[in-house]
Amino acid sequence: MWSSKNYFLVLLAVSMLMYSCDESYTPRPKGYFRIELPEKKYSNYQNTDCPYTFDLPVYARVINYQDSVTQPCWKYIRFPEFNAEIFLSYRKVDTNIGKFIEDARTLAYKHTVKAESIDETYIETANGIHAMIYDIGGNAASSVQFYATDSTSHFIRGALYFNVAPQPDSLAPVIQFLRKDVEAMIGSMRF
């Protein structure tokens, strides 16, 4: 038979065993790969079939738009290292500059459904280019959009896209890095 002393010893052993097995577990946050950003270097991009030129990062490639027959000056600027691309569309300006600017603004503001903010930055270059950069914050498909024009003959619109699900926190360093490339493109653009 069990005595009260035996019950006490078993109870003590079980409670010590249960107490000693209690581990305080702290979950680790989800980690992301470290992003190695290349050195900023540019070369001049010029296509003899298109009336524009600008400085292009050396880590980017220009690819023709899939319908390059009807739109020969529409291009993709691919950044393979970041799985990103800027889609460039070019239009000849007649008296429709206001329509092109409004279309660019409308396309940027279509992201308000997912965007936390949209900031506009107006740029005027020494080359006579007027441009607007739209910084779209939040979980939007395109985080940077822009247009550049000489206001009389030429209009270019661009939009930065990533070929991954948008995660603004993890993409933020790359977005900031590529936005500086957009500024360099606009600053060096000539028509």
Domains of the chain in start order, with CATH, are 42-188 (3.40.1000.10)
Q: In the structure encoding, which two tokens stand for residue 127, read together? A: 């080359």
Read off the pTM.
0.79
pLDDT in tens, 108-122: 998 888 888 999 999
**pLDDT, tens only, 128-157:** 999 999 999 988 889 999 999 999 999 999
Which is more confident, 79 or 24? 79
Over the chain, what is the mean pLDDT? Answer: 88
Q: What Å distances lie between residue 190 and 45, 111, 150, 163, CA to CA?
A: 11, 29, 9, 29
What burial letters (b/e) apply to 82-115, b meaning 16+ CB within 10 Å? Answer: bebbbbbbbbebeeebeebbebbbebbeebeeeb
Beta bridge partners of 124: 130
